[in-house]
Amino acid sequence: MASPQFLHLLDQLHETAERRRLPWQPVRQYASGGRCDFRIALGAGIVRIETNDADEQTLDARYTAYLTTRDGLLIDEVVARRHESDYYPMLREIYHRALVAAFELSRMVDGMQEDLESGKTRDLPKEQFNEDGVPF
């Protein structure tokens, strides 16, 4: 079980993200099929949030939040499964707000719509995986 202090910090992150964009950064997970985690540095620590199923398609969908030092040492964690945890809705919202903030989703979509309307297309990035899904 997570410490009350970490749960309070997560609650504050959740409430703050409702009012303003936080500087979440993506952390690519090569083995996860393109899904990524997100992290934010605050004070002497880092909060990282991840999911095993961002679309919530499985019964085992879960979100995990980690509190680490800036050197990556694990201090605390919360694991919230869809049907087993009171913290699941909060961690789900934190994850999705982190995704929107990290990729500046509205700006990205606006740019894509502009290209679509003007008939413009862009070169695709070079594939980063071989056939086994292992990064080069």
68 strand-pairing partners? 46, 74
CA distance 48 to 37: 7
CA distance 67 to 46: 6
Quick: pLDDT tens for 63-122: 999 999 999 999 999 999 887 788 999 999 999 899 889 888 777 788 888 888 888 888
> Which band of pLDDT confidence, cut at 50, 70 and 90, is reported for residue 136?
very low
Total-model pTM: 0.77
- The answer to whether 62 touches 51, Cβ cutoff 8 Å, is yes
- The answer to whether 77 touches 85, Cβ cutoff 8 Å, is no
**Coil/strand/helix, residue 63:** strand
CA distance 26 to 39: 7
Quick: pLDDT tens for 23-80: 999 987 655 556 789 999 999 999 999 988 756 666 778 899 999 999 999 999 999 9
